[in-house]
């Protein structure tokens, strides 16, 4: 199987190559695609060197699937051209997520919506992915009415420039700033641009994408997204109001048995999810489960996942694995 990775030299693209190798994805030929300055260089994948090529050459090579992580502008221009050539595109940018004609997929949640006709498939926002993995089994059992979420997001979600800013600040070194303010010893309540309603795009992504992935516009979601000086993954404090009452023992059992979730909820032994323990893992971790004592049928929880893996690279590759399993690409 020929597989193109568009944006192969970036932070997420590099992670995609790592995850493809780790999961034993059936790559017979890798087609790494990057900007013009990288064309002609090579990437070693599974012990074999593959030359980096441009967009048109990648299309000409006719891969079965192209996994994009090169930003919205690139995806808007090139994804349709790949799709027109019969190549299935899985796109990690925000370009197609809210397009009514495109599927927005988290395999554990709604992988069953995929069809052979889907040639551009959107990978959701990282902070949305880890939340809906936990929300899905709870919604099926108790019917979610409203979600209030506050995020604590890693600098890796911004990219290598942000990681460099953080590390420079740790040692007192001057350098380029990915953020308007210092990030070390700080928390910045601002991810993506502000909208007219006072929310950021990131916050509205969580609201709108959740409804689309869960196929339920009745779920109310309100979010506050914050950047903090961590690198292992994103964390979320989530308050979930249900239509039906629940038993915490049943909730723990339900989550522990749900795909893609690892339950870490033993406060007596100081066991709860953290970015340090989620780093380089593909699962979504949930803990600090407790009843909201201020109103009925409401649960508090803490969700952590590696944003470069399940929040980006791994989810995209799981979409491709689902397509193979269903016989839609081969």
Residue 312 clears pLDDT 90, i.e. is over it: yes
Does 289 share its domain with 208?
yes
Residue of 139, 234, 279, 301 with catalytic role: 234
Q: State residue 330's pLDDT score.
A: 82
Does 133 share its domain with 250?
yes
Return the CATH number at 22.
3.40.50.720
Q: Calculate mean pLDDT across residues 18-24.
A: 96
Q: List, in sequence order, every beta strand (DSSP E) within the chain.
A: 2-6, 29-33, 42-45, 48-51, 65-68, 88-91, 103-104, 120-122, 144-153, 220-227, 234-242, 261-263, 284-291, 298-305
Return the CATH number at 297.
3.30.360.10
Residue 189 clears pLDDT 90, i.e. is over it: yes
Q: Is 119 part of any domain?
A: yes
Is position 234 annotated as part of the catalytic site? yes
Percent of the chain with pLDDT over 70: 100
Residue 234 clears pLDDT 90, i.e. is over it: yes
Give the total number of structural domains in the chain: 2
Q: Is 278 part of any domain?
A: yes
Does 90 share its domain with 10?
yes
Residue of 126, 139, 225, 279 with catalytic role: 126
Q: Is 330 part of any domain?
A: no
CA atoms within 13 A on the CB side of 166: 21
Does 142 share its domain with 282?
yes
Q: Which of 245, 257, 223 is nearest to 136 (CA)?
A: 257
Longest dimension (CA), the chain: 61
Residue 191 clears pLDDT 90, i.e. is over it: yes
Provide the sign of the torsion angle of the four alpha carbons 138, 142, 147, 148, taken in this order.
Answer: negative
Residue 322 clears pLDDT 90, i.e. is over it: yes
Does 11 share its domain with 151?
no
Q: Is 176 part of any domain?
A: yes
Does 57 share its domain with 142?
no
Residue 166 clears pLDDT 90, i.e. is over it: yes
Q: Is 280 part of any domain?
A: yes
Is position 126 annotated as part of the catalytic site? yes
Q: State residue 59's pLDDT score.
A: 98
Q: State residue 268's pLDDT score.
A: 98
Q: Which of 180, 171, 181, 65 is nearest to 123 (CA)?
A: 65
Does 109 share its domain with 178?
no
Average pLDDT over the chain, rounded to an integer: 97
Expressed as residue numbers, the domain containing 230 is: 127-307
Query: What is the 8-class DSSP label of residue 70?
Result: S
Does 163 share its domain with 291?
yes
| Residues in Cβ contact with 68 at an 8 Å cutoff, skipping those fewer than 6 apart | 6, 7, 74, 75, 78, 79, 89, 90, 91, 92, 93
Does 276 share its domain with 151?
yes
Q: Is 184 part of any domain?
A: yes
Q: Which of 107, 134, 120, 41 is nearest to 75 (CA)?
A: 120
Does 159 share its domain with 300?
yes
Q: Is 220 part of any domain?
A: yes
pTM reported for the whole predicted model: 0.96
Residue 128 clears pLDDT 90, i.e. is over it: yes
Q: Calculate mean pLDDT across residues 191-209.
A: 98
Structural tokens at position 170: 């740790």
Does 72 share its domain with 92?
yes
- Residues 252-300: tens digit of each pLDDT: 999 999 999 999 999 999 999 999 999 999 999 999 999 999 999 999 9
- Residues 46-61: tens digit of each pLDDT: 999 999 999 999 999 9
Does 207 share its domain with 285?
yes
- Banded model confidence at residue 152, pLDDT cuts 50, 70, 90: very high
């Amino acid at each position: 199987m020929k597989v193109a990775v568009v944006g192969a030299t970036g932070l997420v693209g590099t992670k995609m190559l790592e995850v493809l190798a780790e999961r034993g994805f059936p790559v017979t030929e890798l087609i790494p695609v990057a900007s013009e300055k990288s064309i002609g260089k090579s990437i070693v994948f599974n012990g074999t060197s593959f030359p980096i090529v441009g967009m048109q050459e990648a299309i000409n090579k006719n891969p079965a699937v192209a996994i994009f992580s090169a930003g919205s502008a690139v995806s808007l221009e090139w994804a349709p051209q790949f799709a027109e050539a019969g190549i299935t595109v899985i796109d990690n940018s925000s370009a197609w997520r809210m397009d009514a004609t495109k599927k927005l997929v988290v395999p554990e949640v709604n992988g069953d919506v995929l069809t052979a006709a889907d040639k551009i498939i959107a990978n959701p926002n990282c902070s949305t992915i880890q939340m809906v993995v936990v929300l899905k089994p709870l919604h099926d059992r108790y019917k979610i009415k409203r979600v209030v979420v506050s995020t604590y997001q890693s600098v890796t979600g911004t990219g290598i420039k942000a990681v460099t800013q953080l590390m420079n600040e740790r040692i007192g070194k001057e350098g380029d700033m990915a953020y308007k303010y210092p990030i070390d010893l700080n928390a910045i309540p601002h991810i993506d641009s502000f909208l007219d309603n006072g929310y950021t795009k990131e916050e509205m992504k969580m609201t709108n994408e959740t409804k689309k992935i869960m196929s339920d516009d009745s779920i109310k979601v309100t979010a506050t997204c914050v950047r903090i000086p961590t690198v292992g993954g994103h964390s979320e404090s989530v308050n979930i109001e249900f239509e039906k009452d629940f038993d915490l023992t049943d909730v723990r059992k339900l989550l522990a048995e749900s795909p893609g979730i690892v339950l870490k909820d033993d406060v007596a032994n100081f066991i709860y999810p953290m970015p340090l323990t989620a780093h380089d893992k593909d699962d979504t971790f949930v803990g600090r489960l407790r009843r909201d004592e201020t109103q009925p049928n409401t649960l508090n929880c803490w969700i952590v996942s590696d944003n470069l893996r399940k929040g980006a690279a791994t989810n995209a590759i799981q979409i491709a694995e689902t397509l193979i399993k269903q016989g839609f690409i081969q």
